[in-house]
Amino acid sequence: MGDTEIGYLFGQYKRINSKGFSNGIPFLPSGVPFFSKASGYGVVHYADNMLKDRGDSLKGKRCLILGSGKVARSVAEKLLDFGAIPLTFSDSSGFVYEPDGIDEGKLRTIDKIKSERGGLLGRYIISSTSAKFNDPENILDIPCDLCFPCGAMKSIDDENAAMLADNGCMGIIEGGTSTITPEARECLKKRGLLYGPHTLTMTGKFIVKALGTQANDQMLASEVTRIYSDVKRTAAEFNARGDLFVGANISGFLRVANVMLTHGAV
């Protein structure tokens, strides 16, 4: 029997066997200690690779974080590891801004607030003498080097993208699903800003799941570098050099198509 026949057999096996899945995430992921942080860590590792391509690094970069969920907070944690400076978090109550950056102690305070049911960022002001709340009026008016939208879909449109570019932002790396609009994506491309699409940057949890219980951050970083290189190479191969959005989509399509062929689909 060859690959095609094995593919047919496995396809039939999947059809007649009911298995439980949750968006590719195991129901009991506790076997991997940092599984809950893998998505945010992955986002930052991709950002690191993007900057390295430009001969730069995350060290000293002032970063806006939109959102304050688990992914947003794990993004901040990993940014600190790289020597970057997280500046903000946001939620339905507004946003907090630390002009000198959110350090590990401040991040622990925010973690504690957000881990409580219904906890809102406004409470953080009580514990910080340096934080600003909803000041300036628009969070995107804060000068930054990078922006990590980790909140709602389509939270950044073309006007927001242009505002960030005008304020000196180098790029947007998505920490949530479709957090920027197609129009914003085109604006970033025209202005020459870095763009990390969620189809690439949000793969951290899936990488860790595939690595298994022995997974650690070093292994995650290594896999991120491999995938990033593959996506970049695919984009160049299909005449879209430097476009990670195109590269990620084509690379993903090719992987699915190849598996379907292996399973006997035409």
Torsion of CA 103, 107, 108, 114, to 10 degrees: 170
pLDDT digits (tens, 9 = 90+) for 169-182: 999 999 999 999 99
CB atoms within 10 A of CB 28: 6
Written as six digits, the tokens of 92 are 């339905």
How high is the pLDDT of residue 105? 96
Q: What is the 3-state secondary structure (H, E, C) of 9-26?
A: HHHHHHHHCCCCCCCCCC
Domains and CATH numbers, the chain: 30-211 (3.40.50.720)
pLDDT band at residue 31, thresholds of 50, 70 and 90? low
Kindly state the DSSP code that residue 119 receives in the 8-state scheme. -
The rounded percent of the chain whose pLDDT value lies above 90 is 76
- CA angle 175/204/26 to nearest 5° reads 115
How high is the pLDDT of residue 18? 52
Range name among 30-44, 52-66, 219-233, 240-254 with the lowest pLDDT average: 30-44
**What are the residues whose beta carbons fall under 8 Å from the beta carbon of 77, sequence distance 6 or more?**
37, 40, 41, 107
- CA angle 221/103/140 to nearest 5° reads 85
- Decide: 244 and 230 in contact? Cβ < 8 Å: no
Name the more confident of 254 and 15: 254
Written as six digits, the tokens of 61 are 């970069």
Q: How far apart are CA 65 and CA 139, in angstroms?
A: 10
Residue 204: burial class (beta carbons within 10 Å; 0-12, 13-18, 19+): buried
